[in-house]
């Protein structure tokens, strides 16, 4: 049984997703400032490795970075609801730039569902103007 990674074109497709995403992030007013100016290539590679590994490709992310631990790795960044929504907006543009022949609808839905779960999981700040929680 082949993996989703293999079914959608492997490394080439996940490279396109990551490159398309980061091409937008560089000038984005919410996400752009979260990235060090001297590590765009590294950030793009890490995203590509993570997505490829998650969908059945090589374990490059684990080999180079260790276990993903996404919440811990992103804790220092102010990810509020607006940032998560923007991440999804830019990721959707990147994913939609890849034709349906390369990523058929069923696989596209699986990838998108995962991206929505990841974006929600990474929220670590309240939105500005949100009343403080009453639970202490």
What CA–CA distances, in Å, run from 68 to 46, 56, 59, 103? 10, 14, 11, 24
Q: Give the count of alpha carbons within 13 A of 119, CB side only.
A: 19
Q: Which domains does the chain have, with CATH numbers?
A: 4-121 (1.10.490.10)
Instruction: Supply the pTM of this predicted model.
Output: 0.86
- Structure confidence by residue, pLDDT tens digits, 26-83: 999 999 999 888 899 999 999 999 999 999 999 998 887 777 666 676 677 788 999 9
- Structure confidence by residue, pLDDT tens digits, 114-131: 999 999 988 988 876 555
Specify the pLDDT at position 43: 92
CB of 17 closer than 8 Å to CB of 95: yes
CB of 85 closer than 8 Å to CB of 118: no
């Amino acid at each position: 049984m082949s993996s989703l990674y293999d079914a959608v074109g492997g490394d080439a497709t996940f490279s396109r997703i990551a490159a398309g995403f980061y091409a937008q992030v560089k000038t984005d007013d919410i996400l752009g400032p979260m990235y060090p100016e001297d590590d765009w290539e590294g950030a793009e590679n890490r995203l590509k490795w993570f997505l490829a590994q998650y969908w059945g490709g090589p374990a490059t992310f684990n080999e180079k970075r260790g276990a993903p631990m996404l919440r811990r790795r992103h804790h220092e960044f102010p990810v509020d609801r607006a940032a998560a929504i923007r991440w999804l907006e830019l990721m959707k543009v990147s994913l939609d730039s890849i034709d349906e022949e390369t990523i058929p609808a069923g696989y596209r839905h699986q990838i998108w569902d995962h991206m929505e779960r990841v974006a929600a999981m990474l929220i670590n700040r309240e939105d500005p103007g949100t009343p403080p929680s009453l639970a202490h």
